[in-house]
Structure 1
Amino acid sequence: MKNQQVFFFLLLFVVSLPISTFAAESELLYPQCDQNFTQNHILQSNIDNLLIDMAAQSSLRRFAISTFGRAGYDAVYGVARCDGDMSHEACSACITGVEHDILATCPGSGAVHAWREKCYLHYDVTNFIGKWDHNTPAVWISASKAEDPKAFERGVAELMGEVMAEAAGERETLKFKSGESSLKGEYSDISLTIYGMAQCTQDLQESECIQCLESSLKTMAEYCKGSDGCRIFGSSCVLRYEIYKFLWLDDAVVAAGVEAPAPAPSIADGH
């Protein structure tokens, strides 16, 4: 029930604020701080070491899975994820930034979820690794509507189905897949390309990943129907579609290892 309350509160928060009030890619969006503790120097040391390890892993792999401490006593478990279009350098900078933010925002917390626009970090004193976390703090919805809603929704459903299946089945690294679909000549007279992506955290097996993505797709269908852009922020997975290229994959700056500017978020502004 707590997660549902957080989700609905932040959903209303997101769709009612103007775009100009939202944080840039380099700022913390949705911190959640739980399991407060005091005067446990061993646990705090394990959290500090975990964060250092996850920052180091993300610079090499663009994700991190880490554990420090003794199970059942002072152990802490962590997962970090960057969007699959980020360079190693940009990912490391994003995760390191999240860590700095949560040390200030969530002092003495044994469980933290923290999002920036293009990366996410979660640590907990309870072992969650390999388990689908149902936490969904926000949905970003475009204020613009599709000209041909039925054709557009069919195109979105087909594209999302493809990228979800491929992301869940991806075994080597990022559990990330992007794609595009043209409506012209197939569903509608409108010439339009839809761009989409799906990604899970790397600790999930295929079955857990697809369950998470399917749940996000249901949320997308419920809240984003007819909108020409939608983004689901989740703990274990993310899902997004737009009618513009929002990924950095084709950016020569990223290929050179330099952080590119973040795409403009698609947020309904209460019109």
Structure 2
Amino acid sequence: MSGVLSIRLFSLFSCLIIIIIIFISKANSDSTGLVCGNTAVSRANSNYTKNLNTLLNTLTSNTKINYGFYYSSYGQNTDRVNAIGLCRGDIKPEKCRGCLEQVKDNLTRLCPHSKEATGWFHDETCMLRYSDSAIYGQLALLPMYYSVEEKNTTEVDKFQEVLINLLQNLKSQAAFGDSRRKYSVGSAVGPRNITIYGFVQCTPDLSEKDCDDCLFESISLLPICCVDKVGARVNRASCLLRYNTSIFYDPSTPALSPLPQEVPSSPAPLPQGT
């Protein structure tokens, strides 16, 4: 094992206990992963809460965005709110906006006193995150959760070899994406001719290096958490990863056209807020 890999794995081990405390769940297609921050809003009618509600209610209002990534800020100084919404790369715009609406309702209902929160809807359809800190273009490995399928695989070593090679290739493809989408899916044939399907995605505001680093940490976790499982997911604030022996994404999603000179802002400019 190289020195760099050893250092990065040490970093992974050092925060693993914290991660486990934050969230662990069994795979459940009807569940939503959700983490409330520990920075509290002083009262329900605070300026921050008003700004948060305004921002979340308008985050997906720019219907020109068809690539599943939304970002905006609202408010001033300590009452400023920042939010990011991300949908899986194969999700259609209408379903994307509907998914983010559902996660928004969950977060504001279950984290009523938190200045920051992150929620992932089932099957990685979408993720929503908001904070009083700057989050655009910032790599965030936490919060995070992973879940695994109940079923075990056979020929574990061979399965893991094929899986890791697949995910490493997808990682490189996703990291190379542009400022609208950093997403890649693919498959590989494992032992006993079992097809392994993989999906990786970063929030596209990340640099190529930060996206690569985020997915590297998630891939490195698999031999620890999920070594003998036919399926698992590792969802972080900045990147998503999933694999399974059953296909779970639309493989026919067309590639984006070349990036225009200006990508529409998300959403249209808002007043400054309070």
Q: Tell me whether 1:49 sits opposite 2:58 in the alignment.
A: no
Contact 1:58 / 1:64 at 8 angstroms: preserved in 2?
no
Q: Could you tell me whether the CA contact under 8 Å between 2:55 and 2:72 is conserved in 1? A: yes
Give, in angstroms, the shift of residue 239 of structure 1.
0.8
8 A Cα contact 1:198 1:237, kept in partner: yes
Relative to the length of structure 1, the TM-score reads 0.79
Query: Which residue does the alignment assign to 1:174?
Result: 181
1:153 partner amino acid: Q
The answer (yes or no) to whether the contact 1:53–1:66 under 8 Å persists in 2 is: no
Of 14, 31, 44, the residue aligned with 2:25 is: 14
SS at match of 1:164: helix
Alignment partners' CA distance in 1, 2:85 and 2:94: 15
Unaligned runs of 5+ in 2: 1-12, 254-274
C-alpha deviation, 1:108, in angstroms: 3.4
Identity %: 22
Shift of 1:53: 2.7
2:168 counterpart (161, 164, 170): 161
Instruction: Give the letter for the 1:141 counterpart.
Output: V
Q: Do 2:34 and 2:117's aligned partners in 1 also have CA atoms closer than 8 Å?
A: no
Among 122, 143, 154, the alignment partner of 1:147 is 154
What corresponds to 1:32 in structure 2? 36
Report the alpha carbon displacement of residue 152 of structure 1 after superposing the two structures with TM. 1.1
Residue 132 of structure 1 aligns with which residue? 139
Q: C-alpha distance in 2, partners of 1:10/1:106?
A: 15
- Structure 1 contact 136–232 (Cα < 8 Å) conserved: no
**CA displacement, residues 42-77 of structure 1 (integer Å, 9 cap, x when unaligned):** 32222122212323248833121111122x332111
Residue 227 of structure 1: aligned partner: 229
8 Å contact from structure 2 (residues 33, 145) kept in 1: no
The equivalent residue for 2:93 is 88
Q: Which amino acid in the other structure matches residue 68 of structure 1?
A: Y
Match of 1:217 in 2: 219
User: What is the alpha-carbon distance in structure 1 between the residues aligned to residue 221 and residue 143 of structure 2?
Assistant: 10
Cα gap change, 1:6/1:137 in structure 2, threshold over 3 Å: closer, same or farther? farther
State which drifts further: 143-152 or 156-165: 143-152
How many residues end up aligned between the 2 structures? 237
Runs (4+) off by over 3 Å: 3-6, 248-251
Aligned to 1:103: 108
1:66-119 superposed Cα distances (whole Å, 9 cap, x missing partner)? 11122x332111111111121111111110111122222122321111221121
Distance 1:161 1:4 in 2: 21
Q: Distance in 1 between matches of 2:33 and 2:164?
A: 28
* 8 A Cα contact 2:80 2:132, kept in partner: yes
CA distance in 1, matches of 2:25, 2:49: 33
Per-residue deviation, 1:4: 4.9
C-alpha change, 1:142 and 1:179, in structure 2 (3 Å) is same
Cα offset, 1:248, TM superposition: 3.2
What does 1:221-260 correspond to in 2, within 5 Å?
A: 221-250=223-252
Amino acid at match of 2:206: L
- Give the letter for the 2:172 counterpart: A
1:249 CA drift (Å): 4.1
The equivalent residue for 1:258 is none
Q: Do structure 1's residue 69 and structure 2's residue 75 form an aligned pair? A: yes
Determine if contact 2:141/2:237 at 8 Å carries over to the other structure.
Answer: yes
Give the CA RMSD over aligned residues.
2.5
The aligned counterpart of 1:267 is none
Q: Which residue of 1 aligns with 2:263?
A: none
Q: What SS does the aligned partner of 2:39 have?
A: strand
**CA distance in structure 2 between the partners assigned to 1:23 and 1:6 by the alignment:** 25
Q: TM-score with structure 2 length normalisation?
A: 0.78
8 Å Cα contact 1:76-1:124 kept in structure 2:
yes
Quote how far apart the aligned CAs of 1:138 are. Answer: 2.0
AA in 2 matched with 1:201 = T
